[in-house]
């Protein structure tokens, strides 16, 4: 179990590191700074703290899920789909400034995490709460992306 958690931690934080290379340059950019952002946009430090908690919880969640679910191939495909969507959003939004495509990407990611949450809740029972920070954060992040899309 510990090996699985470590594997998912490495993969999750790798995704954050790759995405962060685009976010780091994008946030202070004139383009992003001049956007009309949602009034509920959290301060910058919240993003790093939130993603750290999310990825630790998600790693534990995935370790339990892959251990308990017989269809490991499906779980791996879903995980890597999530991984790709998570990584791709950053360059799409910050580097290419493709707000609509970013919104579509984050909607797909939110849909996938919602699927994880509800589809496997009976299997994981209380451990399903481990994916809640990811789900809640994506609802917030989707609303932030949507606000930028509709008000800029």
- Ranges assigned E (strand) in the chain: none
Mean pLDDT across the chain: 95
Instruction: Please determine, for residue 24, whether its predicted confidence score (pLDDT) is greater than 80.
Output: no
Question: For the residues 44-48, what does the mean pLDDT come to?
Answer: 89
Least confident piece of the model among 1-5, 26-30, 68-72 = 26-30
For residue 96, the model assigns a pLDDT of: 95
pLDDT in tens, 100-118: 999 999 999 999 999 999 9
Cβ proximity of 87 and 15 under 8 Å: yes
Tell me the HSE value of 90 on the side-chain side, using a 13 A CA sphere.
18
pLDDT in tens, 59-98: 999 999 999 999 999 999 999 999 999 999 999 999 999 9
Structure tokens that stand for 25 in this block: 């340059």
**CA–centroid distance for 86 within its chain:** 5
């Amino acid at each position: 179990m510990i090996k699985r958690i470590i594997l998912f931690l490495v993969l999750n934080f790798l995704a954050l590191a790759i995405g962060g290379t685009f976010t780091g340059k994008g946030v202070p950019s004139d383009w992003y700074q001049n956007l009309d952002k949602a009034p509920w946009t959290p301060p910058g430090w919240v993003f790093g703290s939130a993603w750290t908690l999310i990825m630790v919880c998600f790693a534990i969640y995935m370790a339990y899920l892959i251990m308990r679910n017989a269809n490991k191939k499906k779980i791996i495909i879903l995980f890597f789909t999530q991984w790709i969507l998570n990584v791709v959003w950053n360059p799409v939004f910050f580097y290419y400034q493709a707000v609509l495509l970013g919104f579509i990407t984050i909607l797909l990611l939110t849909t996938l995490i919602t699927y994880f949450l509800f589809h496997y809740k009976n299997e994981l029972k209380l451990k399903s709460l481990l994916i809640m920070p990811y789900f809640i954060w994506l609802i917030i992040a989707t609303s932030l992306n949507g606000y930028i899309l509709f008000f800029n």
